[in-house]
Amino acid sequence: MIESLHEECGVFGIYDSEGAAESTFLGLYALQHRGQEGAGIVSTDGDRMYEHKGMGLVAHVFDEDSIARLEGKAAIGHNRYSTTGLPRVANIQPLLVDCRVGKLALAHNGNLVNARELRSQMEATGSIFNTTMDSEVILHLIARSKEETLDSMIVDAVQQLRGAFSVLLLTKDSLIAVRDPQSFRPLCMGVKGDATIITSESCALDIIGAEYVRDIEPGELVIVDERGIRSRKAFEPQQQAKCIFEFIYFSRPDSKVFGENVDKVRRKLGVVLAKNHPVDADIVISVPDSSNTSSLGFAQASGIPFEIGLIRNHYVGRTFIQPSQRLRDGTVRLKFNTVDGVLKGKRVVVVDDSIVRGSTMKKLVAMLRKAGAKEVHLRIASPPVKFPCFYGIDMPSRSELIASSTSVEGIRQYLGVESLEYLTIADLRSVVDDPDHFCNACFSGEYPIPMASGLNKSVFEDSAVA
């Protein structure tokens, strides 16, 4: 999409592999789209644990030296996009602590909705917290558990959590994964020779040449150690609430998540969009690269030719100079340019995956007009985003979501397009096999977990970092 939504994190773990840290590095590199603020890896050689973290892209945080110093045959890693406070290395995962069970490292994807209460309760009885991350609560619950074995301590801990968690843990001699019973966030297992890998998306298996085996099941605890792989049900079966936005936008199209090929689902979004919201036009264009697949689906289903009408500058970095007022209007030009010969005099269908605030799309539409588009028809491969996410997607507040207060016709007028159509929630449900097991709260407001005390993300007051 034109505007960015951010999810907190990709995770990757590997057990019993020479060069565990290098594989973890490559896995994080394949998962870079899930978080660009910082990255970290913790490894173990069975005796000592090793850690390296930093701000920025994976390829910037690690070099050959730092990877070589991450010794051992097991490792976990984490990509982070931060949503609270200023960026600080202390908030980069994996978190590595000492506690009753020895050294313990954690990497977490998802958001907990009762982190605030848990944290208050534990502070009241003597715990101290070093970060502003909800993830730290999980470590405290494990450390405080009265159970006797590590896996029982973990089960005891996670049963107190409410919200989304795809978690990897590393001890000196084991890799452990646990997933919330509603399985909001993806987590899958792969294998390469003797090595077991557990990670967010299958594209991270592909990059190291590992084979996809299966998803970690909802509520499942998996322990990988020298005795092999053991599984344990940490929760009773529940209705799942898999994040449909993983298909719409987050996951890479070459990944398999929630057991389905992202590409296949995303293609169907475009097909349904074309069938249910047709338009008479000359060409279909995408907003590269996120809506390429759904645009192609739209073009094939509608018979309108797919064209490349926008070029994306792939050198856009994270810390880009903010152009001065004089050039401000052109900010969207830093990221995209029009291919004028393609657009001139044409009735153009633009397919995008979603609209959040709408302001950037408005500028893009103006660019298309300037390039000579005769008509601009916008087709959105998801329903209007009206509600914030509490399970791991960093969305603007409700008041900033244009669709929460504006009708589709109002948005159409604001954007200045000839027509605007979204998918309906029913359309969306039609593209997945088990629609009742997906969360669509950001479209419907029907949250699968009742809110106890508001969004924890905004609750922990961060200390600023000067």
**Segment 102 to 161, residues that bind a copy of itself, using CB under 8 A:** 103-104, 119, 123-130, 139-140, 143-145
CA atoms within 13 A on the CB side of 92: 23
* Distance (Å, whole) CA 218 – CA 179: 6
Residue 374 near residue 430, CB atoms below 8 Å: no
SS3 322: coil
Per CB under 8 A, contacts with a copy of itself among 285-324 are: 288-289, 292-293, 296, 300, 305-308, 311-317, 319-324
Closest distance of CB 401 from a copy of itself, Å: 27
> Does 203 participate in catalysis according to the annotation?
no
Closest distance of CB 150 from a copy of itself, Å: 14
φ and ψ at residue 424, rounded to 5 degrees:
-90, 165
- The residue from 2, 5, 30, 304 that contacts a copy of itself (CB under 8 A) is 30
94-125: b or e for each residue (b if 16 or more CB lie within 10 Å)?
bbbbeeebebbbbbbbbbbbbbbbbbeebeee
* Distance (Å, whole) CA 380 – CA 271: 12
Closest distance of CB 399 from a copy of itself, Å: 24
- The residue from 207, 366, 425, 455 that contacts a copy of itself (CB under 8 A) is 207
- The residue from 194, 230, 327, 458 that contacts a copy of itself (CB under 8 A) is 327
Residue 164 near residue 111, CB atoms below 8 Å: yes
Residue 384 near residue 422, CB atoms below 8 Å: yes
The residue range among 202-210, 403-411, 427-435, 437-445 that interacts with a copy of itself, by the rule CB under 8 A, is: 202-210
- The residue from 50, 359, 418, 419 that contacts a copy of itself (CB under 8 A) is 50
When asked if residue 18 is in the footprint of a copy of itself (CB under 8 A), the reply is yes
Q: Count residues binding a copy of itself (CB under 8 A).
A: 110
Binding mask 240-279 for a copy of itself (x = CB under 8 A): ------------xxx------x-xx---------------
Residue 129 near residue 123, CB atoms below 8 Å: yes
Which CB, 254 or 434, lies closer to a copy of itself? 254
Binding mask 392-431 for a copy of itself (x = CB under 8 A): ----------------------------------------
Indicate the pairing of strand 242-243 with strand 438-439: parallel
Closest distance of CB 168 from a copy of itself, Å: 17
Q: What is the Cα Rg of the chain in Å?
A: 23
Closest distance of CB 180 from a copy of itself, Å: 22
- The residue from 174, 183, 240, 338 that contacts a copy of itself (CB under 8 A) is 338
Which CB, 11 or 30, lies closer to a copy of itself? 30
Closest distance of CB 238 from a copy of itself, Å: 28
When asked if residue 213 is in the footprint of a copy of itself (CB under 8 A), the reply is no
- The residue from 209, 410, 445, 454 that contacts a copy of itself (CB under 8 A) is 209
Q: What is the DSSP string of 15-81?
A: ES-TTHHHHHHHHHHHTGGG--SEEEEEEE-SS-EEEEEEES-HHHH--HHHHHTS-SSEEEEEEE-
Indicate the pairing of strand 6-7 with strand 188-192: unpaired
Fill in the DSSP letter of residue 398: G
Residues forming the active site: 9
